[in-house]
């Protein structure tokens, strides 16, 4: 009889957790993170290996800029499922953001972990766009003496071009803009905008006109065209 009671209690706990998870997930999607977080934490205490709950808590920690907490959650994810590219990508992203928040000496010791996490994600998933974007940005922003390289960034920009023309042209534009090649950046952002016709592609081209090329006429015309669509 005791066995049946215990089984019944377990079933009730799982049913309750399913309901709570749906509630927390809805809060998360509505960007009500302070309401979602305690519910996810409660679920995790009862189901410590619930990977989706761990991922949500990692995402919330990242949104709150609590990078150490985010790293802990994502590290648990990648250890539980080392073949999941997205877990490696999120781990690398949290490590990268932490590196930006600490002193330069400590950050230097973290760069290899960040790079390796992003590289692992690209190896695990040949179509993982976010990790390739992360590598483009990493290699462009890092000084050459510690691994930065336009050539390396270009390699992953070329891979993005094969996966998504919009991301490919945006990443090419990003590289050109970083090196003050504004006319080339305009060409690439314009191609991305023509293909994607999205808020993101509009914003990149608009910002270039406004802040780098200082061409208000083009900026105004682009904005008028975008708002008519």
Q: How confident is the model over 172-216, as pLDDT tens digits?
A: 999 999 999 999 999 999 999 999 999 999 999 999 999 999 999
Residue 102's pLDDT band (cuts 50, 70, 90): confident
Q: Phi and psi (nearest 5°) for 146?
A: -120, 25
Q: How confident is the model over 116-144, as pLDDT tens digits?
A: 999 999 999 999 999 999 999 999 999 88
Beta-carbon contacts of residue 69 (< 8 Å; ≥ 6 apart): 57, 58, 61
pTM: 0.88
Q: What percent of the chain lies above the pLDDT cut of 90?
A: 82
Beta-carbon contacts of residue 66 (< 8 Å; ≥ 6 apart): none
Q: How many CA atoms lie within 13 A of 63 on its CB side?
A: 14
- Alpha-carbon distance of 178 to 170, in angstroms, equals 12
- Alpha-carbon distance of 105 to 200, in angstroms, equals 35
């Amino acid at each position: 009889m005791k066995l049946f009671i215990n089984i019944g209690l377990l079933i009730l706990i799982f049913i309750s957790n399913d309901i709570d998870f749906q509630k927390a997930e809805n809060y998360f999607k509505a960007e009500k993170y302070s309401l979602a977080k305690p519910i996810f934490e409660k679920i995790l205490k009862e189901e410590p290996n619930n990977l989706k709950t761990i991922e949500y808590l990692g995402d919330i920690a990242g949104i709150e800029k609590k990078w150490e907490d985010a790293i802990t959650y994502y590290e648990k994810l990648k250890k539980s499922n080392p073949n999941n590219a997205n877990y490696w990508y999120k781990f690398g992203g949290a490590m990268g953001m932490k590196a930006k928040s600490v002193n330069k000496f400590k950050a230097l010791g973290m760069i290899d972990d960040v790079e390796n996490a992003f590289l692992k994600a690209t190896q695990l998933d040949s179509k993982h766009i976010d990790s390739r974007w992360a590598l483009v940005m990493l290699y462009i922003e890092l000084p050459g003496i510690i691994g930065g390289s336009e050539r390396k960034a270009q390699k992953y920009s070329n891979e993005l071009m094969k996966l998504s023309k919009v991301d490919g042209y945006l990443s090419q534009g990003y590289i050109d803009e970083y090196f003050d090649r504004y006319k080339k950046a305009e060409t690439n952002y314009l191609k991305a905008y023509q293909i994607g016709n999205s808020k993101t592609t509009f914003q990149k081209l608009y910002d270039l006109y406004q802040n780098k090329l200082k061409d208000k006429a083009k900026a105004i015309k682009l904005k008028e065209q975008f708002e008519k669509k």
